[in-house]
Structure formats: C-alpha cells, structure tokens
Chain A
C-alpha cells in the first residue's frame, strides 16, 4: 500500500509539473449527431440533442449559444410520478470512455426566444463552450417535428449517427 501511495503522489506531482511528457493534455471533445426538431407554428422554443464523448480527460459543457435564438440553456429533464420537470443545469460532465447523450426525455439544450421557425432539413450553427477545451462550433441538423432521432435523410456521411435513440419505455 505504501508504495502505491508514493506512486500516487509521484504521479500527481508528475501531472502538475510541466516537464512530464505523458501528462494528459487538454481534453478533446467529440460532438456527434447534433440535431433539433422542426418547430410547430408560433413556437418560441426549440430543442437540441447530441452525443458527446471526451478523449484525454473529462470536461464540462458549460454554455451554448446560437444566432437562431436569444438564449440556449442546458436543461435536465426528469419524470417523477408522471410529472415532467425541466431544470436549468449549470454544466454537464463529459467523461472519457463514455458517451454523454442529450436526447428526447433527458438532458437537452433548450433554445429560448427563437428568431425564426426551424424547418425540417434546415441546419444552423451552435457554439458549445467547454470548461477546459474551450469553444467548439457545431452544425445542428433539423429533423421533423417531434422526431425521436436524427433524420438520416439528407445527412449522408455524418459520423456516429444515433438515430432513433430514446428512453426504453
């Protein structure tokens, strides 16, 4: 145990020191399958879903923004006793070796103050801000109203498609 403890200390020192060559560098965040739903007439809100994965080390999604809406908020969604609750989330962790999914019935980015309706087949930019790795601009593809997954049509060559994903009940 003692040697493990020492090794732990050494590795932490190594991580802190700039000279350590194999210290994990900044996390790299991969963002896949970024999609939204077409909005019904007059809707002031929209939603964005995506799949996130991290390489190197964990990171946190802390903010999002898009020119198509006044605000983009990270929200949790839960169903308890049949009551649907959405709450703003301060941040969302993205860990290496796991995928973090924003999906219908779960965590999502809510667009508030939509400047124009979203139509199926459209796309728009979204800037994601991560705590460590900084900002990343992604393209959001708009699927049909109420779609449960990213529509494959017109999106050939997209990596990591996760179409049709939803909670299993």
Chain B
C-alpha cells in the first residue's frame, strides 16, 4: 500500500488543533443563531414621529386600529433584511383578507443612506402594504431606543459601511401596545399562524 492513508492521517492530526478552534467558534455561533428571541423588557415601543415614502410625517397614532409588525433594518443589508421582509410579505399573502387588519412597518436604522425615496423603492419589491419609514438621526435614535433595538454601524471607508442591528419583528396591538417579539427569521407561515390566532381572538 502507498503512504497515502498515513499521509491523510498525519495531515488530519495536524489540522485537528486548528479544526477544534474553528469548530468551537462555529458551535458558539450556531448556538447564538438558534437561541430563542429574548423576551424584551416590559415597555417596548412608544410614540414616534417619522417620515413615510411620500415625505409625509407619520406617528405611532397614524396606525391605531391595526396590528403592527415592526421590523428594523436597512436597505444596504443584503441578507437578513430581505429575508425578514420576504417572510412578512408571505405572511400577508397567507392571511388573505385578514391582512387588512395588519400594518407592517420597515423602519430604517440607517437614516443617513435610507432617504424616503430609497425606502419607497426598496419596500415596493416586497409588498405594497409594507410601509418604509425613515427620519432624522434623532428621530431614528429615539424610536430604536424605545423598541430596545441595538444598532451599531461598523467602520468602513466611504459609504460602504455595514450596520449590526437587532433582527426582531415587534408585534403591537391595535392600541399600539406591545404584544410579542418574533424572530426576524420566522417564516411567513409562522408569522401568519401567530397573527391568525391573535386576529381570531379579537374582532
């Protein structure tokens, strides 16, 4: 026999140390990824004054009477945000006419790049019922604070920066009161099921 199997064995042994380090990192990461959303503090949400796509000023009171799905993200985000918005769109489709009682809001954590026009063009690709909201730096800072959203822009040259952010969907009732935090990775079916239960309990 050739020395090939032994070579493989030896190489494997040498790679083991590096492998363990890598695997440990992966396991740690995966554990974090699969953790259930942490229950937020009691007072999630609150008054806000933001800007809609057409430049109109909207507040939290603009949406009284509707169940709100509030998601924070940014349009430069290539993966997590389109996933969450796609799942919200799928949930609206599955709800059918019940979706009339639901208003999804996509609030940017990156008002510097996400102007009303950018937000409008972006949300259109998902579902016309999703409202994209932006605002002044102060207004966005206020609303992210109220919802307990973590936002951390990363250093980068120029305007190519990434932004770490909480990826939860906040469910608010028609009175604007917080009901639940859902994972930003929840599928459309999971979101629809949750909403269907709530909507059937209240008419």
Contact = CB atoms under 8 A, between A and B. Distances in A.
Contact of B86 (A7, A41, A113, A145): A145
Interface in B123-179: 123-126, 150, 154, 160, 162, 164-168
A10 interface: yes
B78 A84 contact: no
B10 interface: yes
A33 B195 CA distance: 34
A14 B8 CA distance: 12
A158 interface: no
Nearest to B76: A45
Interface residues of B, number: 50
A47 B78 contact: yes
A146 B164 CA distance: 19
Interface in A45-68: 45-47, 57-58
Interface in B49-69: none
Interface string B24-49: 00000100111101100000000000
Residue of A84, A86, A113, A168 with most chain B CB atoms under a 10 A cut-off? A84
Contacts of B10: 8, 11-12
A81 B32 contact: yes
B185 A169 contact: yes
Given A40-B75, A78-B33, A148-B83, A22 B2 contact: yes
B88 to A, nearest CB: 10
Interface string A82-112: 1111110000010000000000110010111
B89 interface: yes
The 4 closest A-B pairs by CB, nearest first: A146-B86, A41-B121, A40-B125, A11-B3
